[in-house]
Amino acid sequence: MLTQGTLRAARYLDLLSMRQRVTASNIANADTPGYRTRALDFDSALDEAMQRPAKRPTFEPQVRELGGLAVKNDGNDVVLDRELRNLSETAIRFSHALLVMRGGIRQLRQAIQEGRGA
């Protein structure tokens, strides 16, 4: 009963939530010797999720070491400024996707109410 846009927004929210957890883990390990920054392959996961929004993804999005970052003396490569920027960007994207979801749910609710009045 939900629109394709609403289903896509739901998949997008799932991926953003996962991205937020990975970023939070990076921040939590910023002082852990030898820890390497991890990242969700967000674009690939999003492409896969958008191809079939009506179904729950059958794949597990890949989280892997990012690489290419400067490594500190303790072997850690977490850059807090980068991670905080990721948190902010993800929060903004999450807010926008919630607006889309709310709009779809509002339309469904209106359709149900109109059907009851007939």
Selected residue with higher pLDDT from 98 and 2: 98
Residues 62-115 pLDDT 10s: 899 998 999 999 999 999 999 999 999 999 999 988 887 787 677 777 777 777
Residue type, 97: A
Closest CA to 42 of 27, 56, 57, 63: 63
CA 101 and chain centroid, separation = 14
Single-letter amino acid code for the residue at 77: D
| E strands in 1-118 | 38-40, 63-65
pLDDT at 86: 95
pLDDT at position 117 is 67
Residues 6 or more apart whose Cβ sits within 8 Å of residue 97: 9, 12, 13, 16
Can you tell me the distance from the alpha carbon of 44 to that of 74, in angstroms, rounded to the nearest whole number?
32
Residue 38 three-state SS: strand
Provide the pLDDT for residue 58.
58
